[in-house]
Structure 1
Amino acid sequence: MSFSDVVEALKELSLEEKQEIQLLLNQYLREERREEIYQNFQSAKKEQQNDQLQFSSNIDELKQLLEEE
């Protein structure tokens, strides 16, 4: 089923069904975002354990660190 097929099928749903789909999509998006945040946390935790994190309060140094990645 293509994306356009899904969009067309959604158009045929009742208002209540569309609202339920909206609630489900919002829930799925929240769950995916939480998982992304958790994975980023795990990655940062591993970097910290391996002494790979760099800190600075100098804005120019921070910009340079960002450019290196």
Structure 2
Amino acid sequence: MRHRYGFTDEACAFFDFFAAPAPELADRTLTALQHALDTATLDHPRALRYGRLLQAYELMFWEGLREG
């Protein structure tokens, strides 16, 4: 977007933020999962469903940008 449309760094900040995985994401995910296992609150089917929904929504967002 910078090169093709001349957007500034400020205008691209949102996309820069999501361009790479958050470095602490894996650790936070493991901590949350361990807590759920330790407290017997892990609802495996629901957790999988929410994870898939999150990925699907993110994919729809990025595909919408690409198509638009």
**TM-score, structure 1 normalization:** 0.46
Structure with the largest fraction of helix: 1
**TM-score, structure 2 normalization:** 0.46
Query: Radius of gyration: which is bigger?
Result: 1
